[in-house]
Chains A and B, each alone.
Chain A
């Protein structure tokens, strides 16, 4: 039934399925990421215009160490083992993202795919190449209009939550290794400027 409440009910159901089905995978992925960072790995993120790179980079409460991947030439960018690449896609069947994931894996990069699950293992599916896959809902609207248009997707908001769930687990894993990563403080807080300058300086020195 078309309503705001039904939209939220669907989002909450997806979040509950993340809780019952994905938290173990999230923790395992976060630990693998932390171990790579402890070996000197850098953390990158890329998306298919879904906004998750913008959400993660330079964000209050987010990781200072995370960088947007701005090229497909990983060699030129010097991206290789033990680096990490988080790849966010609304579709698992995504040729350009799959090729990038393949190239990254061939260079020893740990690739985390945030995308829907799909059947099979076609090489043009992002999940085929990922080191770890954290599933998000299929990118389709919750409601269907009379002209057949599916509207009001839940995939974006659930993927956004999944990104921060993974980040939370990573922060905790790094802390357990006695290497708490530096975070951005909201620029609206009075002491944010000096805090962020110091934290960025520490991030550049320590790598996390």
Chain B
């Protein structure tokens, strides 16, 4: 059954992220905790469908570590030296995404990308430089979703069905929050 297969894929993806991405998540969390401790800001921008609502500051259960950044180049002016930008996108091939991440780095921020970059020959980048987001950031946390986004394929399906990227990007966002909170608690932060 397709429903059961999707469930298995979502479960497997969550487990794969733990098995393969914890070093990157811990590294990103260290940068975030360090910036937070120094009074710098943590920014979050995810251009997916589900994550913007799920990760919004007003969402109940969001510890409020991150401030949302809008998907506009002008907004990067808010990013300062020592800040961290966490950027989410399935493939990271849009030109504006590359520009935003490059500018944030140029302003002295660490930039972490949550997504599933693929070979440029499979999905060509749209930036004139030929770069993907994954090529211009400090760290990639791989979400291991298929480049077509649809997780289910059958001979009778016109195109792959049922994406995993919304689930995956939100999952990694909360994992990162948990890890930052763990570090802050270990350092004796009163509010954690």
B80 within 8 A of partner (CB): no
Interface centre among B18, B53, B151 (most CB of A within 10 A): B53
- In the bound complex, how far is the Cα of B158 from the Cα of A140, in angstroms? 38
Chain A contacts with B in 1-24, Cβ cutoff 8 A: 2-8, 11-12, 15-16, 18-19, 23
A3-B178, A168-B3, A171-B161 known; A50+B61 contact, CB < 8 A = no
- In the bound complex, how far is the Cα of B160 from the Cα of A24, in angstroms? 24
A49-B53, A51-B51, A157-B171 known; A186+B14 contact, CB < 8 A = no
Instruction: Tell me how many residues of B have a C-beta within 8 Å of chain A.
Output: 64
Interface stretch among B36-44, B103-111, B184-192? B184-192
Task: Scan A151-195; emit 1 where CB is below 8 A from any B CB, else 0.
Answer: 111101100110011111101100100001011111011000001
**B149 contacts A11, C-beta separation under 8 Å:** no
- In the bound complex, how far is the Cα of B62 from the Cα of A195, in angstroms? 39
Of A18, A61, A175, the contact of B159 (CB 8 Å cutoff): A61
**B60 contacts A52, C-beta separation under 8 Å:** no
Interface centre among B149, B182, B192 (most CB of A within 10 A): B149
Interface centre among A49, A165, A195 (most CB of B within 10 A): A165
B68 within 8 A of partner (CB): no
Chain A contacts with B in 22-79, Cβ cutoff 8 A: 23, 26-27, 30, 49-52, 54-55, 57-62
Q: Which residues of A contact B191 (CB under 8 A)?
A: 145-147
Interface centre among B17, B54, B90 (most CB of A within 10 A): B54
- In the bound complex, how far is the Cα of B7 from the Cα of A157, in angstroms? 12
**10 pairs from A and B in contact (CB 8 Å cutoff):** A2-B178, A7-B178, A8-B175, A51-B166, A139-B61, A152-B177, A153-B59, A156-B170, A157-B174, A188-B123
B71 within 8 A of partner (CB): no
**B52 contacts A8, C-beta separation under 8 Å:** no
**A153 contacts B166, C-beta separation under 8 Å:** no
Instruction: Tell me how many residues of A have a C-beta within 8 Å of chain B.
Output: 67
Q: Which residues of B contact A58 (CB under 8 A)?
A: 49
**A166 contacts B171, C-beta separation under 8 Å:** no
Q: Which residues of B contact A149 (CB under 8 A)?
A: 63
B57 within 8 A of partner (CB): no
**A90 contacts B52, C-beta separation under 8 Å:** no
Which 9 A-B residue pairings sit nearest by Cβ, starting from the closest? A51-B53, A61-B150, A153-B61, A4-B175, A55-B50, A168-B2, A169-B3, A141-B61, A151-B63
For the complex formed, measure the closest distance between the CB of B53 and the CB atoms of chain A, giving whole angstroms. 3
For the complex formed, measure the closest distance between the CB of A101 and the CB atoms of chain B, giving whole angstroms. 21
B69 within 8 A of partner (CB): no
**B3 contacts A15, C-beta separation under 8 Å:** no
Of B6, B91, B123, B166, the contact of A168 (CB 8 Å cutoff): B6
**B177 contacts A151, C-beta separation under 8 Å:** yes
Q: Which residues of B contact A15 (CB under 8 A)?
A: 7, 10-11, 14
A122 within 8 A of partner (CB): no
A81 within 8 A of partner (CB): no
For the complex formed, measure the closest distance between the CB of A29 and the CB atoms of chain B, giving whole angstroms. 10
A160 (CB) vs chain B CBs: closest residue:
B167
